[in-house]
Amino acid sequence: GSVAGKISEIDVTGGANFAFRVYLQGNMTMCNGGQNWAYLNEADSNYNVYVAQLTVAKLASETVTIFSTNVAGYCQIGYIAVYGS
């Protein structure tokens, strides 16, 4: 799936437990048949860069596009784009 918007919430938990979770304003579904949040696990490729970019986008209230894949009913982030104002 692909959704765009501003980040409303970021949750952080254990490295293999949907470690970094992102919600967009409007609580929209993040991938086909998935949840209203998308995630990365600590073992995911480029994890630190994703986390940094998404955190900065949240703090700057920038629009992001998140592309994710439904993995067992949860939306795993595979690609992001951050748009400056």
Instruction: Give the torsion through C-alpha atoms of 35, 39, 45, 48, to 10 deg.
Output: 160
Coil/strand/helix, residue 55 = helix
- Contact 22/7 with Cβ under 8 angstroms? yes
**79: which 2 tokens?**
């690609």
User: Can you give the pLDDT of all 85 residues of the chain as single tens digits?
Assistant: 899 999 999 999 999 999 999 999 999 999 999 999 999 999 999 999 999 999 999 999 999 999 999 999 999 999 999 997 6
| The predicted structure's pLDDT at residue 85 | 65
List, in order, residues 6 or more apart from 76 with CB less than 8 Å away.
38, 39, 40, 41, 44, 68, 69, 70
